[in-house]
Amino acid sequence: RTVYLNGEYLPETEARVSIFDRAFLMADGVYEVTSVLGGKLIDFEGHLKRLERSLNELDMPKPEAFDELLDIHRELVRVNDIDDGLIYLQVTRGSDGDRDFAFPDPETTAPTLVLFTQSKPGLANSPQAEKGLKIISIDDVRWGRRDIKTVQLLYPSMGKMMAKKAGCDDAWMVEDGHVTEGTSNNAYIVKGGRIITRQLSNDILHGITRAAVLRFAREAQMEVEERPFTIEEAKTADEAFVTSASAFVMPVVEIDGASLGDGKPGPVARRLREIYLEESLKKAI
Ligand code: PMP
């Protein structure tokens, strides 16, 4: 695999980052994941805008190649011959060769920019979408700025492992009695045809797929309500689903052992998945 590191395309075994890099020592880094379908980038502009916002919120300098990111994504898709898959991008604050809590001088310390591809044949035809996900609920103990897409992913990783141990696929996190989001996706329930999902705030990541799916839902005259909901409300919902750049729209069929509807992916989730894939492919670049 060819990867990108700070201006160079390199074999993955030759790409090296300093042990003093602040993402390694302090999780001082942000990331994006963009999906590739049929060799084209899905929702690229949304991911780029959110990256810019994450960098701003953390006073992290933009990498020099920021304006070339579309070309870099496309080149990696080309050289790695990616048909369906993902592109992972990470920007870290880099390193001045020392460890210090204070940020290094941005004039002399350049950020680290890394991109690599992951080939995922049949990404849009995942068998998971036919079966639906089984979810457990766990306490949301993450930091208070979940709107910034940082690489502090230890708790979400623990959540996935807790779900696996329980024979499930993923976890929804709960804070003050209300669902925030999934470990790596935004969470939705459907009641009486109405789509309910938590409103945007610092408590959740502002999903790029979420924005597109809600727009398509409203365009299709579906009712959308942005408000918090409890796990109890979710367990008695008609259906549920999650959204993310890698899973698109993925139905949820079980929450904390309670089956939703007839235990199969619901009609609203199925329809939204179809609409999202169709419409976002039309705009893919
Ligand atoms: N919430 C969290 C916590 C996530 O990690 C992700 C995926 N990175 C999402 C939501 C979904 O965001 P997007 O649709 O932009 O992939």
CB neighbourhood size of 17 (10 A): 16
Same domain, 139 and 178: yes
Final residue belonging to a domain, choices 121, 156, 190? 121
User: What residues in the chain have per-residue pLDDT under 70?
Assistant: none
Final residue belonging to a domain, choices 69, 95, 121? 121
Q: Which atom of ligand 1 is nearest to the CA of 210?
A: 14
State yes or no: ipTM above 0.95: yes
Which pLDDT score, from 0 to 100, does residue 270 have?
A: 98
Which pLDDT score, from 0 to 100, does residue 71 have?
A: 98
Final residue belonging to a domain, choices 121, 137, 159? 121
Which pLDDT score, from 0 to 100, does residue 153 have?
A: 98
Ligand 1 pocket, residues with Cβ under 6 angstroms: 33, 181, 184-186, 205, 207-210, 243-245
Which pLDDT score, from 0 to 100, does residue 25 have?
A: 98
DSSP code of residue 58: T
149: annotated active-site residue: yes
**Enclosing domain of residue 87:** 2-121
The DSSP bridge pattern shows strands 239-244 and 248-255 to be antiparallel
Which pLDDT score, from 0 to 100, does residue 206 have?
A: 98
Distance between CA atoms of residues 85 and 77, nearest Å: 9
Which pLDDT score, from 0 to 100, does residue 138 have?
A: 98
Does the pTM of the predicted model rise above 0.95?
yes
Distance between CA atoms of residues 175 and 72, nearest Å: 39
Distance between CA atoms of residues 213 and 216, nearest Å: 5
Structure tokens at 118: 């992951």
Please report, for the domain that includes residue 90, its CATH number: 3.30.470.10
**CA 66 remoteness from chain centre:** 20
CA of 97 to the centre of ligand 1 (A): 32
Residue nearest to atom 8 of ligand 1 (CA): 184
Same domain, 102 and 172: no
| Residue of 135, 85, 157 whose CA lies nearest to 257 | 135
CA of 219 to the centre of ligand 1 (A): 22
Coil, helix or strand for 55? Answer: helix
